[in-house]
Structure 1
Amino acid sequence: MKYMISWKIPPGKYVGAAERFLHSGAPVPEPLTLVGRWHAPGSMYGWALIEGDDPIAMAQHSAEWARYLEIQVTPVIDDYEASAGISKVYGSP
């Protein structure tokens, strides 16, 4: 399963979030894999794509950052997986 995480750093939390990120590197807990992480320069927004089949580890990672970030976690699927689901309703092309 893939999870797209988006976050916003609320007012007054930037320094704490930055210090924690610089100190820890923000690793994801095992058995999750960080596919990529992106930051919007000059803003308080960021995104990460994480892969893994352990929703408890995903909840752990979110909880580790909840003090500093407003976090949204969205399960996502790729085009192939979406096509497989859509074709069950509409048939294959």
Structure 2
Amino acid sequence: MKFIVQWKGLPSAENAVIERFMKTGGQVPDGVNLLGRWHAIGGLRGVSIVEADDTAKLAAMALAWSDLLEVSVLPALTDEELGAALGKHQAAGQ
């Protein structure tokens, strides 16, 4: 399943975030496939799309940065997946 991961850091954490990212490369845990990651210019904000079958791996990923960043992880659907769900919703007369 795909997930949207968003993060936001406090300005006071900037140096620590930079240091950790440069040291680790922001690697994701085994069992999490990083499909893409984007960083905002001029701030500690960004988004990535990951794929994982085990939400415990996603929790580990979020917790690894939670001392420096606020992290949210949200389930994501492609247009095709959403279209199928909407079609079933319409067919049920909702």
What TM-score results when the alignment is normalised by the length of structure 1? 0.93
Unaligned runs of 5+ in 2: none
Aligned counterparts of 1:8 and 1:52: Cα–Cα separation in 2: 22
Q: Which amino acid aligns with 1:39?
A: H
| Cross-structure match for 1:44 | 44
Matches within 5 A, 1:1-93: 1-91=1-91
Tell me whether 18-27 or 40-49 shows the greater mean CA deviation.
40-49
Q: Once the 2 structures are TM-superposed, how far is the Cα of residue 49 of structure 1 from its aligned partner?
A: 0.6
Per-residue CA deviations over 1:30-71 (Å, capped at 9, x if unaligned) read 111000110011122111111111100000000000011011
Per-residue CA deviations over 1:18-39 (Å, capped at 9, x if unaligned) read 1000000011111110001100
Tell me whether 60-69 or 2-11 shows the greater mean CA deviation.
2-11
What TM-score results when the alignment is normalised by the length of structure 2? 0.92
- Identity among equivalent positions (%) equals 35
Q: CA RMSD in A?
A: 0.8
Aligned counterparts of 2:89 and 2:48: Cα–Cα separation in 1: 31
Q: Once the 2 structures are TM-superposed, how far is the Cα of residue 84 of structure 1 from its aligned partner?
A: 0.8
Unaligned runs of 5+ in 1: none
Structure 1 residue runs of 4+, over 3 Å off?
A: none
